[in-house]
Amino acid sequence: MQWFRVYSEIIDDPKMAKMNNETFRVFIYLLAVASEEGKDGEIDMTPDDIAWRVRMPAATLITAIKYLSENNIVQTLENKILITNWKKRQFSSDNVSARVKRFRNKQCNVSSNVSSNVIDTDTDTDTDTDTEKKRRVFAPPSVEEISDYCNERRNNIDADYFIDYQNARDWKLKGGQKIKDWKAVIRTWEKNNYSGNNGNGSSRKKEVYEYEPNN
């Protein structure tokens, strides 16, 4: 949908104040038609064609255009009407489609820079149709992430011991399955009252109960 600018200063403009209602309505209609034409304020139509387009009597339109022309609000050419100062008032930067496209490109660039513990990668799968499917690959958390999460839950789990323990097991559960949710494992340690130390870090429990994923 095409649109155009109308400035609040028309309230105090003497030329506008002297217009009758019909002439003012014609002026707004001419702005709309010029915006629709997209020719920098040029309306390449006869008064009869414009009258048909805006659904009003040609005589009313012609009378209004005469006033507008006399006051240099529009210029009448041969079978054309030119809105005065169109380029000054209606900016090419008002192209909504271009502005929206720039905004969406900016949002895409921001989204592409967001990091996550889960990385999406395209991997080949052995299927009958040899199509590619996207698989979610687990990326181990950092000591800081584990420490922050444990501090948030106030569970006294030793972050260094947790990550050393999981690294030694290649981040696998006791059933050999790869861990998909390290926070769930933390919560299981927490539920089983396992912190990784006895308060002074000198001893560890021999057995750790782990999160088992639902089948």
The 10s digit of each residue's pLDDT in 7-60 is: 888 888 888 888 999 999 999 999 999 888 888 889 999 889 999 999 999 999
SS3 content of the chain, % helix, strand, coil (to 5): 45, 10, 40
CB atoms within 10 A of CB 124: 10
Q: Are residues 88 and 136 in the same domain?
A: no
Q: Are residues 71 and 32 in the same domain?
A: yes
Q: What is the pLDDT of residue 202?
A: 42
Judge if 147 and 183 occupy the same domain.
Answer: yes
Any domain includes 54: yes
Question: What is the model's pLDDT at position 96?
Answer: 57
Does residue 141 lie in a domain region? yes
Domain of residue 16, CATH code: 1.10.10.10
| Total number of domains constituting the chain | 2
- How are strands ordered across the β-sheet holding 80-83? 42-43, 80-83, 74-77
Residue 169 falls inside a structural domain = yes
86 and 19 co-located in one domain: yes
Tell me whether residue 134 is in a domain.
yes
In a shared domain, residues 72 and 146: no
For residue 176, what are the domain limits? 118-191
Token pair for 185: 């494992």
The verdict on 13 and 87 lying in the same domain is yes
pLDDT tens for 112-169 read 555 445 555 555 555 545 555 456 678 899 989 999 999 999 888 998 999 899 898 8
pLDDT of amino acid 120: 52
Both 17 and 87 in one domain: the answer is yes
Q: Has residue 209 been placed in a domain?
A: no
Q: Tell me the two tokens of residue 108.
A: 């895409």
Given 42, 57, 92, which residue is the final one in a domain? 92
Residue 63 pLDDT > 90:
yes
- How many CB atoms are located within 10 Å of the residue 65 CB? 21
Domain's final residue, options 23, 58, 92: 92
Asked if residue 28 belongs to a domain, the reply is: yes
* 215 in any annotated domain: no
Asked whether residue 80 is assigned to any structural domain, the reply reads: yes
Q: Over 109-130, what HEC string results?
A: HHHHCCCCCEEEEEEECCCCCC
Instruction: Judge residue 157's burial from the number of C-beta atoms within 10 Å of its C-beta, 0-12 exposed, 13-18 middle, 19 or more buried.
Output: buried
Q: Are residues 81 and 156 in the same domain?
A: no
Asked if 20 and 81 sit in the same domain, the reply is yes
Q: Residue 160 and residue 213: Cα distance in Å, rounded?
A: 24
Q: How far is CA 210 from CA 4, 145, 182, in A?
A: 65, 19, 10
Answer yes or no: do 55 and 123 share one domain: no
Cross-strand partners of 136: 120
Whether this model's pTM surpasses 0.95: no
